[in-house]
Structures are given as C-alpha cells and as structure tokens.
Amino acid sequence: MLTIKRVPTVVSNYQDQEETASENSEAGCGSNCLGNCSLPVSKLPLYQITKDKVDLTEEASGEEPRMSFLHDLLLGQWEDRMNRGLFRYDVTSCETKIIPGEYGFIAQLNEGRHLKKRPTEFRIDQVLQPFDENKFNFTKIGQEEMLFRLDDSKSPSVVAINVSPIEYGHVLLIPRVLDCLPQKIDHESFLLALYVAKEAADPFFRLGYNSLGAFATINHLHFQAYYLPLPFPVEKAPISRIVTVKGYQDTEVIISQLLNYPVRGLVFEVGKSLRDLSDAAASSCICLQDNNIPFNVLISDCGRRIILFPQCYAEKQALGEVSQELLDTQVNPAAWEISGHIVLKRRKDFEEASEEYAWRVLSEVSLSEERFQEVKAYVLEAVGLQKPILEENGIIQEEDSLDKLPALEAQRVVQNCTVQH
C-alpha cells in the first residue's frame, strides 16, 4: 500500500467537527448539516440548469456575450458569504504575479492555506475507493456554506463555497450530494459540470477535477471552480491533433495532445454538441480510473475544451523519488497547479519563482513518454464506440484561444490582488 503525508485542504468550517447543532430547530432535525432530514427543507435558492441546450454554436455575431444569471447568482452568493466572514482568509489580499517567460505561469502567495493543520496520511495507490460515511464528506458542511441548488430532487446537485479559496468565486460543485457518491467520474455528473461551465458564459470561469491519487483529499464526488481573469498557461500551449471521432449526434469531437508543455495531456474539443464532448471525455476518465491511473481535469472555454492530465506525482512522492527541495515547497500539483496557476505557501518560493522552477515542479507530475503512449492507447480505445473518421498529425497553435472570445467586463477581477508583470 502506497501512502503520502500532506496537509489536507480545509474546504469547510465543519471539517474537523461533528455536525454542529443549531439553536433554531424550526426545520428538520435542527442541525446545521446537509443530512437527509435537513436539506429538503432548507431555503436554498434554486437555479435550474437548462439541460436541453447542448448546441455550442449559438454565438452572437460580433457582440459581447451577456453576463449570465448563473454568473450573477454565484458571485452574489459568494460575496455574501465573504461579507459574513465564512472564509478562513481574505483571498483578495493574496499576492499574485505572472512569472516572466514564454508561458506566463501564474504564482500566488497563499500562506493561509496550510496553517494550523497537521499532515494527514492518504492512500494514493487506489483511484477508486468506497465512500466512507465516517470520514468527512459534504453532507457534514453547514447550510450557510451552501450557495444554491441546481435541481429540486431529493438529492440535489449543489454549489457550495470552498472556505480555503484559491481565487475569487472559488466554489465546489457537488453532484447529487445526498447520494454520497465517491470521487469517481460518471457520465451524468461530468455532463453537469459542462452545463455549469456553459451557462456561466465566462471564459475566465473554469472547473477542475482531481481523482484520488491525484490530490483529491475528500472521497465525495465534487468538482472545483473559480474565476481567474488571465489565460492559464496550458490554454496557450500548442497541440497536435491525434484523431477526430464522430459522436452519437453526428458531430465531430477532436482529440489532441499537448506539445511543449511540462505535463503530458490530452485535449478534447468539439464544435457543436456538448453531450458528445462530455461522452468522449467522461469515457476517457472512466477508463483511467478503472485502470487505476490517477488524473486531473481542466474544463475551460465555457465547456468547449477539456484537458485531461494522467499523472504520477503522488506515486513518485510515496516511493521517495521526489527531491526534498520540491517537497519542502508543499506544492500539491492538482488540476489548477498543472494548468499553470501555482499556489505557493512560502514567501521565499514566491519571490524566487521562475519559469524554470515551474517547469521543474510540473515535469515531476508528468508520465514518461512511454507510459503516456500506453495511456493514450487506453483512451482511444475507450472512445472506440464512436467511429474514427479522420486521423491527423498536424500541429495546431492555440495561443490565441482566449483572445478569440469577446472580452468581458473586469467586474469579476480580484480588486485588491497585486498582479505583477
């Protein structure tokens, strides 16, 4: 059994407590948790996802996209919780800088994320583990940490704050929260994440997913999301098209691989059907988790692009193959870090951060070329139910992918964050 010790991220103020009783027992059992008796009677706002909107070609010709209601609801509720003092620190006061270099890696100094926590042992050699109700899970968070529901079922999908935010608007998307699903990708939940990305209608709003063994620390199905008004370095990396496959709705899904980036990864893109894109990417994730391969996912470009990173950093760490110098930085390379937004906990590391340093840290995450080719074969087999219609080997430069999207108002930029160029 392989294990590592790391300081767990505190995502809820109730993470180290038993369910906290509320003085007001007017509804349910009176506790402040999300237990079965409490959640259905809570007064959470309901935002109904429009799931029949799967066409990604709806573009306003030359017009700026309108700010979506989901965008306004999420940020309005998030700022309300910030004003109520529910976060462990003020993320808007964190220093951020763009590291000089070709890719523009983004470094943030966030000294509050690891304070007053002891390292915990995590098993990292099993991507799929059964849900354990005795460990912390999202049914134990306080209702005041919840922002809204996405449906009115008995086990709704919900959006909650992360009380240790990395950026402005940092939230958790928890599919079917009361079903107590383990951290395991399924088609329905993955499609929900893409719907949320599409309806937020903001290219600076991305979602991320970390499997067990790839720095997820809570074995209860969830995605993370936040706003960052800068392009992620991985979004600027060139790609090489591997194959174009035909989806079930007769639309093309393009699968490519990253080039000249420190972490090897696969990119899924589609011109029209959100469902076909979701099916291809989710099938690939399911294939990796069934083969016990840890991975991270970035959902960007309003749900049009999915980047899949199989990784091995935690395994190397458990085997003693990561240098003590890198371990001392306490960088946990999950979806955000791998995509190029690196959270540093020591001022020394922040001030000395360079593109060479970022490249060295992230290179430790990547599979070897030989192993990556094996994993790529698994993925192509996983999407084999869809007919391959074109094989290419051309290099496509995507450095202006975000520039193609109309600029949105800077209203969501972290106002008090120092950005150094």
How many angstroms separate the CA atoms of 243 and 262, rounded?
Answer: 22
The answer to whether residues 213 and 165 touch, using CB atoms and an 8 Å cutoff, is no
Return the axis-axis angle of helices 69-83 and 187-200, rounded to nearest 10°: 90
How many angstroms separate the CA atoms of 388 and 241, rounded?
Answer: 13
What is the sign, positive or negative, of the torsion defined by CA atoms of 153, 29, 224, 283?
negative
Sequence-ordered list of residues with C-beta below 8 angstroms from that of 388, at least 6 positions apart, any chain = 243, 244, 245, 246
Sequence-ordered list of residues with C-beta below 8 angstroms from that of 79, at least 6 positions apart, any chain = none
Instruction: Return the SS3 of 193.
Output: helix
How many angstroms separate the CA atoms of 228 and 402, rounded?
Answer: 12
Instruction: Return the SS3 of 6.
Output: strand
Residues involved in catalysis: 222
* Spatial CA neighbour of 144 closest among 88, 84, 89, 221: 84
How many angstroms separate the CA atoms of 54 and 60, rounded?
Answer: 16
Strand duo 158-161 + 266-270: pairing: unpaired
